[in-house]
Chains A and B, each alone.
Chain A
Amino acid sequence: MSQENGDLLRVVYLSTSLISRSPGAFRAEMASILEACARRNPRLGVTGVLIYERGRFVQLLEGPAEAVDALLDDIETDVRHGLFKILWRTRASRRLFENWSMAFMDAADAPALPDAATPWERASPVQLAARLAFAGKHLSVLSVPVSPASPAVNTADRPGSAYA
């Protein structure tokens, strides 16, 4: 995996959803996750995209290292996440995502993803970034701009522009 020098930390993780399958649980937990992420991440200067795909979460987080690491600690111990695995961790000088967004990839009407046959675990960083950027751009159901007052925001790049 390539390493960049920069002030930002970029991490992609994969986890299994442990949300109960009882009726209503998915909606309630997703509401909780979305509300918390939408409220918290932009304030911390953390951008990226959260994807839910057939029982799994994939999220790219990028922002100040301290904030990203704190979020990862929370997520790893969150009872809704299991089999937590970091797929990509790198320093970056520029953001791939200007917003934080959320996308579903198993919705029936979702367009086919580029390189969909490659499992997340075996995707290269470039494939990961491309796939996540595509989802953030085309499948997003929620997009939250990062706060202008948040730390270490570099909005020189447009969201997903490097790979979309």
Chain B
Amino acid sequence: MAVEPMDLHAALAQYRASVRDRDPLDATQIEFINLGPLRDRYGARWPQVRERIFDVCDAFVKRRLAPGDLAVRAATGFLVLPGPGRTETAAAFTARIERELQAFFLGVEHLQSLQVQARHTPLPAACLLDALGSSAMEEAAQAHEAAAAPDEPAPPVLPDFELYFEPVWTAASGFVALHAAEPAGVSSLGAGLMRGHALAPSAGGAAMRMELDRRVLMAAARAWREGRGGAPGVLAAPVHYETLAQLKCRLPYLASFSALEEAERKAVMALIRASPVDAPYTRLTEVCRSAKALFPRVIVEIDLMKVKLDRFVDARADVFFFTAPGPAPFSAPALEAISRLSERAARLGARTAMGGCCDAAQLAAALDAGVHYISGPLTGEPARRARPPYQLDLTATAPGPQAQGRQAS
């Protein structure tokens, strides 16, 4: 239970009694849920909103505590004392709660609604995720989609798909430890084999893309779980920009994380696709931070020649991913764009990745411009299973940077 100051001594006494028979190491594992990022976000307004934020967090934390667990308010967070019956580690337990808390609070849209519209209302932000991730919601949603409605036009159908995993090579290590997942299936509209978000008929709108993203996330986590015996490295799951940009799609998508195991959450990265070139700074920040709150890493797909990187200055993206700008030799503007991207991404603390790499000349140009990750035909075709991490020596076949520079000039 999360406790008020007046109950603190009694709760601590009760907790001490509950862990009396445990060995000293177990009995002293205390973890801290850090709300520092929220304090930073609010800046000078933090003293005014602190109590309300804590009230919401208190309710959130309380719902996740089992009998015997204890959470105590501290200056910028909660001290969590896991009870003797909890099987997961204190660190894993608190990390899970912290990540879920940040998923809510770091969305600009949600913060605004808290500030402007609910000044005196203890909004049940955390409870919304619980409700949307509940089994009752799951059953109702499935029943709703399955119900026959003879007087309605047939709704668009999300076709079955299989996941393919494209190997991503890391220049620094020479290893392939990351695979990018992509769904592929046969469209119900008779359009043949479709990949990615093209699987979701446009008539279904953002909600249908969200549903595809949910199912892909679940399938990627399942694939990782099934391959865990072979240490499959990490996976990147695609998620459409609109899934994270629209609150009504973001909430169900984030709620689906409740079905994932802790280890699965750590092993799946977000690959945000289809970000509009003209998306505003606030929306890009909100989208990336929403993903960042639950995914360990966030990769953002960009248009190399059109991206406005200054709009990502507070997004905390980890990797900017672009597609190779045509066959080698790259044009001078393209080479300049790659170098500029690498430099500016580095200033943001991010890395760069190039997809669609076909040959050694493209590879050399990319490496010369500072690209960190490479994928495409050169690194291997997408496969039904993600292999355990393996070494791949691409540099042995690539011409030197100077040779590539001559080709481009």
Contact = CB atoms under 8 A, between A and B. Distances in A.
B118 A27 contact: no
Interface residues of B, number: 48
Nearest to A100: B124
Nearest to A32: B248
Contacts of B123: 38-39, 144
Interface string A1-19: 0000000000000000101
Contact of B144 (A21, A102, A103): A21
Contact of B140 (A24, A25, A26, A147): A26
A146 to B, nearest CB: 8
Interface in B137-173: 137, 139-141, 143-145, 147, 149, 152, 155-158
Give me the 10 closest cross-chain CB pairs, A-B, nearest first: A24-B211, A107-B136, A142-B131, A32-B248, A28-B207, A27-B252, A24-B207, A22-B155, A149-B120, A104-B136
A91 to B, nearest CB: 25
Nearest to B141: A26
Contacts of B128: 31, 34-35, 38, 142
Contacts of B140: 26, 30, 52, 104, 106-107
A81 interface: no
Given A24-B207, A31-B247, A104-B136, 18 more contacts: A17-B144, A22-B156, A22-B158, A22-B208, A23-B204, A26-B144, A27-B211, A28-B248, A28-B249, A29-B248, A35-B248, A38-B123, A39-B117, A106-B140, A108-B139, A142-B130, A147-B120, A147-B121
B87 interface: no
Interface string A93-132: 0000000001110111110000000000000000000000
A35 B143 contact: no
B387 to A, nearest CB: 31
Contacts of B132: 27, 30-31, 34
A42 B113 CA distance: 14
Interface of A: 17, 19-32, 34-35, 38-40, 42-43, 52, 54-55, 102-104, 106-110, 139, 141-145, 147-150
B135 interface: yes
Contacts of A107: 135-136, 139-140
27 contacts: A20-B207, A21-B149, A21-B152, A22-B203, A22-B204, A23-B145, A23-B207, A27-B132, A27-B137, A27-B214, A29-B248, A31-B128, A31-B252, A34-B132, A39-B123, A54-B143, A104-B136, A104-B137, A107-B135, A107-B139, A107-B140, A108-B139, A109-B135, A139-B136, A141-B134, A149-B121, A150-B121
Contacts of B156: 22-23
Contacts of A104: 136-137, 139-140
Contacts of A149: 120-121
A43 B134 contact: no
A21 B247 CA distance: 20
Contacts of B117: 39-40, 43
Interface string B235-275: 00000000000111101100100000000000000000000
B351 interface: no
Contacts of B147: 21, 55
A110 B136 CA distance: 8
Interface of B: 113, 117-118, 120-124, 127-128, 130-132, 134-137, 139-141, 143-145, 147, 149, 152, 155-158, 203-212, 214, 246-249, 251-252, 255
Contact of B211 (A17, A23, A110, A145): A23
Contacts, number: 149
A106 B139 contact: yes
A140 to B, nearest CB: 9
Contacts of A19: 144
A34 B205 CA distance: 20
A39 B121 contact: yes
A142 B125 CA distance: 10
A147 B249 CA distance: 27
B121 A42 contact: yes
A68 B212 CA distance: 37
Contacts of A34: 128, 131-132
A141 B210 contact: no
A143 to B, nearest CB: 7
B210 to A, nearest CB: 5
Given A22-B204, A23-B204, A106-B139, A145 B145 contact: no
Contacts of A139: 136
